[in-house]
A and B are shown apart, each in its own frame.
Chain A
Amino acid sequence: AQSVTQLGSHVSVSEGALVLLRCNYSSSVPPYLFWYVQYPNQGLQLLLKYTSAATLVKGINGFEAEFKKSETSFHLTKPSAHMSDAAEYFCAVSEARGSTLGRLYFGRGTQLTVWP
């Protein structure tokens, strides 16, 4: 069974500081991993995805994430936070094969606050 743990429901950083949002997953088969961002009263927008190619994945808005199989982690980072990055971030895992192919399992989300 798949599951996702996002450490820290709230993260606060100053503008210009490093952003690090943590995600650990469990999966019995090779995973596909995703980070989505959600702004207030909006749907989810894909930031980046890992699908068994390069382990360092670059996404939109300057975000990137590194897949570390040994640590079962897929942490999201951005070198320099911007005020517009304030939002809710969801990590999700999907199976690459099997009966639940394509189904997303979401973490509980991390609310990012950026201080001026």
Chain B
Amino acid sequence: DAMVIQNPRYQVTQFGKPVTLSCSQTLNHNVMYWYQQKSSQAPKLLFHYYDKDFNNEADTPDNFQSRRPNTSFCFLDIRSPGLGDAAMYLCATSTLAGLAGVDEQYFGPGTRLTVT
């Protein structure tokens, strides 16, 4: 089945130790999104890629970076995690057909990040 896969599902890292979360998709979608979701809150968009074009949200801290080496994979790098970065990180994909319309976003299961 076509899907969005996130690895690992649970990640523990130490304060200040760089960590990378990965997302892959078999849907061949041209847009990939990274969201941060803290407990009992709505997902907050960090950035997204439209093909290779990177779009950063204005309030995303510089501590968060992303890479998209090809259509299928996208990575979220947290350079120096703080305790406040503990959250669920969700990857999503969609297709944008320009003026023809907008597809819904397909979400992965998420990676729960713990910072010790």
Binding site for B on A (CB under 8 A): 32, 34, 36, 41-46, 49, 51, 90, 94-97, 101-104, 106-109, 111
- Please tell me if the beta carbons of A44 and B42 are within 8 angstroms of each other in the complex: no
A-B contact pairs, 21 of them (CB 8 A): A36-B107, A41-B110, A41-B112, A42-B110, A43-B4, A43-B90, A43-B92, A43-B110, A44-B92, A44-B105, A44-B107, A46-B104, A94-B102, A95-B102, A97-B99, A101-B102, A102-B103, A103-B48, A106-B43, A109-B41, A111-B40
Q: A75 CB to closest chain B CB, in angstroms?
A: 18
**Which residues on B sit within 8 Å (CB–CB) of A101?**
96, 98, 102
| Known contacts A90-B42, A97-B99, A108-B41; A45 and B104 CB within 8 A of each other | no
A-B residue pairs, 10 tightest by C-beta: A43-B107, A106-B42, A44-B107, A43-B109, A102-B96, A43-B110, A102-B102, A43-B108, A108-B42, A46-B104
* B45 interface contact, C-beta 8 A: yes
Q: A9 CB to closest chain B CB, in angstroms?
A: 8
- Please tell me if the beta carbons of B105 and A104 are within 8 angstroms of each other in the complex: yes
* B31 interface contact, C-beta 8 A: yes
* B94 interface contact, C-beta 8 A: yes
Bound Cα distance from A105 to B6, whole angstroms: 22
Q: A3 CB to closest chain B CB, in angstroms?
A: 11
* B84 interface contact, C-beta 8 A: no
Option from B4, B31, B96, B109 in Cβ contact (under 8 Å) with A42: B109
Specify the chain A residue showing the minimal Cβ separation from B44. Answer: A106
- Please tell me if the beta carbons of A45 and B107 are within 8 angstroms of each other in the complex: yes
| Known contacts A43-B108, A49-B104, A96-B102; A103 and B45 CB within 8 A of each other | yes
* B101 interface contact, C-beta 8 A: yes
- Please tell me if the beta carbons of B102 and A109 are within 8 angstroms of each other in the complex: no
